[in-house]
Amino acid sequence: MQQSREGLLIIISGPSGVGKGTVCKALMERNPNMRFSVSCTTRPPRPGEVDGLHYFFKTRDEFLQMVQEGAFLEHMQVFGNHYYGTPRAYVEQQRASGFDILLDIDVHGAMHVKSACPDAVTIFLAPPSMSSLKTRLVGRGTETVEAIEKRFEESFHELRYMKDYDYVVSNDVLDIAIGQVEHIIAAERLRVCRNQAFIESFQVKGEDGE
């Protein structure tokens, strides 16, 4: 069956430390038709993070200039201080070229994109429990104790948005969670609304078989 030519817009959200980055990295490695939307941020890089690969790291002035220029599909101040934004042009170009595009963005950004692009597929990655979420945040070892506490507190707010997503996946066993996200993507490609050209190819001559 001929698939629709425009790529899917797939949004993954969930509390900090749940495993979004880990799941997105695996999806990118396993799916050559997928592109990751690298966000801009004003937060400082973590050890090992590469500009242009994990984020485009910007000063506050640079970021606000981009906001003025309308360069973002959405942008948010996450955790009350740093800005994060999705560059619009890359998402639109990749989708138009037929690539599925993956966004790892917070709940507010996700709701904003979903209302602007109702065909976006929203997936909430949930922790198996709050204690395992805390263990992962601490175990990652990339934030100060204060920043971990702030992120953990914020996660209770984010979890309230789970019900507004199209899908919820529990990231308990990593490989199962990755497989479930891939199943969602496969099913979304088969939606009737995304396969109009294929359906119309059968509607030849009269509907009554003449």
Q: How far is CA 120 from CA 6, 19, 112, 138, 144, in A?
A: 12, 21, 11, 32, 34
Single out the segment in contact with ligand 5GP by CB under 6 A; choices: 26-34, 74-82, 168-176, 186-194. 74-82
Residue type present at position 17: G
- From candidates 24, 78, 111, 185, binder to ligand 5GP by CB under 6 A: 78
140, interface contact from ligand ADP, ligand 5GP, none, CB < 5-8 Å by kind: ligand ADP
Among the residue ranges 94-102, 104-112, 114-122, 165-173, the one whose residues contact ligand 5GP (CB under 6 A) = 104-112
Q: How far is CA 148 from CA 6, 139, 193, in A?
A: 39, 11, 42
Q: Are strands 82-87 and 72-78 parallel, antiparallel or unpaired?
A: antiparallel
> Segment 133-172, which members bind ligand ADP (CB under 6 A)?
136, 139-140, 171
Partner interacting with residue 109 (select from ligand 5GP, ligand ADP, none; CB below 5-8 Å by kind): ligand 5GP
Determine which residue in the list 10, 27, 91, 105 makes contact with ligand 5GP, applying CB under 6 A.
Answer: 105
- Residue 76 contacts which entry, ligand 5GP, ligand ADP, none (Cβ below 5-8 A, type-dependent): ligand 5GP
- Per DSSP, the three-state class of 164 is helix
Q: Among ligand ADP, ligand 5GP, none, what does residue 171 contact (CB within 5–8 Å per kind)? A: ligand ADP
The Cα 147–Cα 149 span in angstroms is 5
CA atoms of 143 and 126, how far apart (whole Å): 20
Q: Over the range 178-206, which residues count as b (16 or more CB within 10 Å of their CB) and which as e?
A: bebbeebbeebbeeeebbeeeeeeeeeee
> What whole-number distance in Å separates Cα of residue 109 and Cα of residue 37?
13
Contact between 180 and ligand ADP per CB under 6 A: no
Task: Mention every residue, 6+ apart, whose C-beta is less than 8 A from residue 131.
Answer: none
- Within 29-68, the residues that bind ligand 5GP by CB under 6 A are 39, 43
1 to 40: interface string for ligand ADP, x by CB under 6 A: -------------x-xxxxxxx------------------
- List binders of ligand ADP among 79-118 (CB under 6 A): none
Q: For binding to ligand ADP (CB under 6 A), which residues are involved?
A: 14, 16-22, 136, 139-140, 171, 174
